[in-house]
Amino acid sequence: MIVIKKNTLIFKQGEFGDTAYVIDQGRVEIFIHDSAGEEIVLTVLGHGEIFGEMAVIDNQIRSASARTLDDCQLIPIQKDQIFDILSKSDSLIQLLMRVMLKRTRNLNDSLAGISTAKEVVEPKTNPKMEQVFDKIKLENQLLEAHHNNEFEIHHQPMVDLQTSKIVGSEALIRWNNPSLGMISPGHFIDILENSSMIIPVGYWIFEECFRHYKVIAEKTSMKDFSISINVSGRQFVHYTFLNTLKELVIKHQINPKFFKLELTERILVEGLAVIDILRQCHEMGFLISLDDFGTGFSSMQYLSQMPVDNLKIDRSFVMNVINDKKTESIVHSIIFLGKKLGMSIIAEGLECEAEIKKMHSLGAEFGQGYYFGRSMKLAELIEKINQTP
């Protein structure tokens, strides 16, 4: 907090600045000088308002001057703090911010009788901005991809380690781009999950899985095949989620017990409301799987409150379980804990027989991984199910 006496000039139009201020007490006048040198007051700000943010955000000179009208108490905010927050925000917000700042500058200039075209100061190029543009471009392509039906659901088989039979699959999204070919989710899932697009695409994934399930039931003798569907935190806490899910269950006439909602511990960043939504999904009959268990921030206290049916042990553990005694102990404890809480254990990323043997002997009931198959199209999955005796 800084204290500034009444009638003090805080900064002058045209200077460079790296601090914005939030007003705790007192009033601050924002003004510019016109081409004749006359003062034009733009606004008077008070408690809870911010000023000086423009130069900090767009890296240009102060668009106006600021002066205290009372003895003021101000909270300074440094450029780094603002940059840090902004760089984590949605790319569209960053772009909106830039365009709005530019418009305010132009308005101020025309008010002051300055020709914007002549006086504009070129912004220092910000390399981060390029990344923002790339992200917006990709978001747009993804939206088009959804409209053009270019997304596909592929399945990675999930196997019973006791019988080696396929008992289910994890549904994974693929992007079949007409010019680039099949694109794996690693290249776009983060963007998808962090944009509002995940809501319609998320529902499309559910519907596609419901349709696929019916085909599997029809074309194989599997009676209790289950499909695991990845759900992101953003989808989960969306106000339409529970109702839409109920509607889709009715529309497709499916039994939710054949579907597992796969969530990571990260959904807890959306707050504790998540646990309540989780319970309601469980009451509808969906099973819940905790994905990548042990890799996120540990949340043992929530584990007891969440209705989790399956624990998926991440490949990062599985790959070291044979050669590293400590990893083996950790996996052993996780499985012990999971089973005590009534969960089934699924080992992820199984690539060789030794890993399978080890994970099975430690208590994992189910497994998934390249050894059993990569993600494949529905027709291929059906063929594979029908091949196994």
Residue 59's CB: how many other CB atoms inside 10 A? 16
**Residue 262 binding result from ligand CMP, Mg ion, none, given CB thresholds of 5 to 8 Å by partner type:** Mg ion
Cβ contacts of residue 110 below 8 Å, gap of 6+? 116
Contact track, ligand CMP, 4-23, x by CB under 6 A: -------------x------
Structure tokens of 310? 């399956």
CA distance 8 to 83: 28
Structure tokens of 220? 């194989």
> Among residues 52 and 202, whose Cβ is nearest to ligand CMP?
52
Of the candidates 262, 314, 355, 365, which one interacts with Mg ion according to CB under 5 A?
262
Residue 172's CB: how many other CB atoms inside 10 A? 20
Q: Taking CB under 6 A as the rule, does residue 81 contact ligand CMP? A: no
> Among residues 108 and 230, whose Cβ is nearest to Mg ion?
230
Looking at beta carbons, which residue is closest to Mg ion? 291
Ranges within 34-53 binding ligand CMP (CB under 6 A): 42-43, 51-53
CA distance 230 to 241: 14
**Residue 188 binding result from Mg ion, ligand CMP, none, given CB thresholds of 5 to 8 Å by partner type:** none
> Among residues 62 and 358, whose Cβ is nearest to ligand CMP?
62
The b/e string for 335-364 (b: 16+ C-beta within 10 A; e otherwise) is: beebeeeebbbbbbbbeeeebbebbbebbb
**Residue 53 binding result from Mg ion, ligand CMP, none, given CB thresholds of 5 to 8 Å by partner type:** ligand CMP
**Residue 17 binding result from ligand CMP, Mg ion, none, given CB thresholds of 5 to 8 Å by partner type:** ligand CMP
Span near Mg ion by CB under 5 A; candidates 49-57, 107-115, 254-262, 324-332: 254-262
**Residue 94 binding result from ligand CMP, Mg ion, none, given CB thresholds of 5 to 8 Å by partner type:** none
**Residue 52 binding result from Mg ion, ligand CMP, none, given CB thresholds of 5 to 8 Å by partner type:** ligand CMP
CA distance 292 to 313: 6
> Among residues 51 and 213, whose Cβ is nearest to ligand CMP?
51
Q: Alpha-carbon Rg of the chain, whole angstroms?
A: 28
Of the candidates 139, 291, 355, 365, which one interacts with Mg ion according to CB under 5 A?
291
CA distance 79 to 49: 17
Of the candidates 10, 23, 26, 62, which one interacts with ligand CMP according to CB under 6 A?
62
> Among residues 97 and 268, whose Cβ is nearest to Mg ion?
268
In whole angstroms, the minimum distance from the beta carbon of 122 to Mg ion comes to: 46
Q: How far is CA 45 from the centre of its chain?
A: 36
Q: Taking CB under 6 A as the rule, does residue 106 contact ligand CMP? A: no
Of the candidates 70, 97, 102, 104, which one interacts with ligand CMP according to CB under 6 A?
104
Q: Taking CB under 6 A as the rule, does residue 54 contact ligand CMP? A: yes
Residues touching Mg ion, count (CB under 5 A): 3
CA distance 10 to 46: 15
Q: Where are the alpha helices (DSSP H) in the chain?
A: 53-58, 79-88, 91-111, 116-119, 127-147, 189-193, 198-219, 233-236, 241-252, 273-284, 300-303, 315-318, 325-340, 353-362, 378-387
Residues touching ligand CMP, count (CB under 6 A): 16
Backbone torsions φ then ψ of 10, nearest 5 degrees: -85, -45
Task: Return residues touching ligand CMP (CB under 6 A).
Answer: 17, 30, 42-43, 51-56, 62-64, 66, 104, 108
Q: Which residues bind Mg ion (CB under 5 A)?
A: 230, 262, 291
